[in-house]
Amino acid sequence: MSWAAILVLAAGAYGFKLAGVLVGNRIEHPLLRRSISLIPPALFCALIALQTFERDTDLVFDARVAGLVVALFATWRKVPFIGVIVLAMAATAVARLTFG
């Protein structure tokens, strides 16, 4: 990874972040505002699905699914935030140890 590649990536990544912050403030149309407010649920659920089932542009069913199931259950049972994370990690580690 060359310095040029790192700096281009850094500039591009910051550019995307800043553009959103600067443009977002100028959007006033109610429909667009509503659209923006619906972005987090759409993207967060997509991220959860990708982080659980994606591996190198393929879909796999592995120990991460155990973590997701435990996280959903723990959240439903109102386990505190850090507890949800620790339980999910433990479930994935145990499933990986058990099933390989």
Partner 1 sequence: MCSQCETAGDEGTLAIRFSFDGGPATVSASMTVASTHRRDSVALGAAVGLVGITFGVLASTAGLPLIKAMAMSLLVFTGASQFAAVGVMSSGGSPVSAVGGALLLAARNSLYGMRLSERLTQHGWKRIPGAHWVIDETTAMSVAQDDEVAATEAFWWTGAALFFFWNLGTAVGVVVGDAIGDPEVYGLDAAFPASFVALLGPHLATAPGRVAGLVGASIAIVAVPLTPAGAPILLAALAIIPALLLPNPVAVSPGTTAEEAP
Task: Report, in Å, the least distance between residue 27 CB and partner 1.
Answer: 7
* Residue 57 binding partner 1, by CB under 8 A: yes
> 59: which 2 tokens?
């879909």
Query: If we measure between CA atoms, which residue out of 91, 41, 97 comes closest to residue 68?
Result: 91
Rounded distance, CA 20 to CA 80, Å? Answer: 32
Task: Report, in Å, the least distance between residue 37 CB and partner 1.
Answer: 5
The tally of CA atoms less than 13 A away on the side-chain side of residue 83 is: 9
Tell me the site size for partner 1, rule CB under 8 A: 77
* Residue 29 binding partner 1, by CB under 8 A: no
Task: Report, in Å, the least distance between residue 74 CB and partner 1.
Answer: 8
* Residue 5 binding partner 1, by CB under 8 A: yes
